[in-house]
Structure 1
């Protein structure tokens, strides 16, 4: 089974890592549109055109399913992609629902005195799909949003720590009473690379919640519904190694040096996979 992943860059590797743990025998294609990153500061029309072109390429390469490992791409393109292509298209959305559910499980006092902060790209926060999500689950009006456009660029440049990015994050939170926040939703796959830094900066006890695990659960569920239990089970044979084909902007195979840097980032999140990654 071949599963195509796309993102504007390295962020989707955080989702791919979880998918490999669940389906270690599947074949994966990963398209990093780094030449157009970051998506979150581009126009809706630009992102729509780019994502459709990438998914068409991945479908032509024989993908049995597509994962939009990008919240911005999902918000803009997932509906039109599902209308255009017959295969499963799995999208992502900021994990607002589990954050709200967890928040409400702490009782009335939490609802009255604590809030949830969604950290995402500007374009994700502007999309009707995101606003509809918040309207549906945030009945107590406890969700706030905070755009963080530069975090994607820091991640793409491999800057995951240090005084510059730490200063940027601290500046984001200036003027906010973070003691009143119960959870921060990481609404962009790139933001997971800053988890350790965020834990150090934020007050103790704030949960960091992302949608990666839920996305992979949905992927496995949809694959099972579409192709059957036996075929999906065959992809869970951890005795075999995962095969990953990397592609870059322009539908070209990724350069070896860049592939190696991606594999290093991926290896950090796929410590349980047996065998070697093959390119």
Structure 2
């Protein structure tokens, strides 16, 4: 069995790493849409076209299940993908629901970091409206962060200055949880832990996404543990250097054994 993972760039590698940890005996195909990364600052119509074209290419490679490891792509195309294909398709959304549940007793707010396009979508507004009865969720667009990540910009001073500038107008004593609503953002978790007050928890949706993948494989009766743990990388631009970058990102995640506070 081959499980497909799709993202605009290297962000979804964080989800792939979690899947490899929980499903080590499957085979994987990871596709990055390097011709069009980042999605978060583009139009909804363009992103729809990009995602459908890339997933069509993945389907031709013979995947048995698909994880759309991108919050922006999920918010825009997940329904159309499920209508078009009969295989299990798992999307991602910012971990707002578990964050609200975890944070309710504290009386503090939840701050969601996400791309501008994710925050503009009706799917996101519906999610917040459904779970945020007490009005504790606030959203912060970080349009530059995917660019930084794709450039492998992880310098602690540069990125620390960036986050401090974005958070300058926020009284962080009022917040209990920060939600990383884009898979690219997870690479900056350790920098954020150094920057944010110690009482603030950081959550993402990776563990919950992989749990849903496992449940869907069972629901569809797809036999697991028939692969070898092989990972094959592809990108729409067919750049050898980007293929190497994705492999490096996966290796670093596995070596670091990063286990952020993830939620479903």
What is the TM-score with the length of structure 1 in the denominator?
0.88
Q: Could you list the per-position Cα deviations for residues 157-190 of structure 1 after superposition, in whole angstroms to 9, with x for gaps in the alignment? A: 0012233222111111011101110000000000
Q: Quote the residue 1:247 is aligned against.
A: 234
Q: Could you list the per-position Cα deviations for residues 92-146 of structure 1 after superposition, in whole angstroms to 9, with x for gaps in the alignment? A: 0000011011012xx3xx23xx100000000000000010000000000000000
Aligned partners of 2:188 and 2:23: how far apart in 1? 26
Q: Could you list the per-position Cα deviations for residues 207-239 of structure 1 after superposition, in whole angstroms to 9, with x for gaps in the alignment? A: 0000000000000100111024xx12x25xxxx
Q: Map 1:86-97 to 2 at 5 A.
A: 86-97=86-97
Following TM superposition, by how much is the alpha carbon of 1:241 offset from its aligned partner in structure 2, in angstroms?
A: 4.3
Q: Map 1:26-45 to 2 at 5 A.
A: 26-45=26-45
CA contact (8 A) 2:159 2:191 kept: no
Q: Map 1:153-164 to 2 at 5 A.
A: 153-164=147-158
CA contact (8 A) 2:15 2:183 kept: yes
Q: Map 1:1-279 to 2 at 5 A.
A: 1-104=1-104, 107=105, 110-111=106-107, 114-228=108-222, 231-232=223-224, 234-235=225-226, 241-250=228-237, 252=238, 254-255=239-240, 257-271=241-255
Aligned partners of 2:256 and 2:37: how far apart in 1? 30
1:86 partner SS = coil
Aligned partners of 1:162 and 1:20: how far apart in 2? 28
Aligned partners of 2:23 and 2:129: how far apart in 1? 34
Unaligned runs of 5+ in 1: 274-279
Following TM superposition, by how much is the alpha carbon of 1:263 offset from its aligned partner in structure 2, in angstroms?
A: 1.7
Following TM superposition, by how much is the alpha carbon of 1:271 offset from its aligned partner in structure 2, in angstroms?
A: 4.3
For the pair shown, the structure with the greater C-alpha radius of gyration is 1
Aligned partners of 2:189 and 2:149: how far apart in 1? 12
2:126 partner SS = helix
Aligned partners of 1:46 and 1:270: how far apart in 2? 33
Unaligned runs of 5+ in 2: 258-264
CA contact (8 A) 1:161 1:197 kept: no
Aligned partners of 1:88 and 1:249: how far apart in 2? 22
Aligned residues: CA RMSD: 1.6
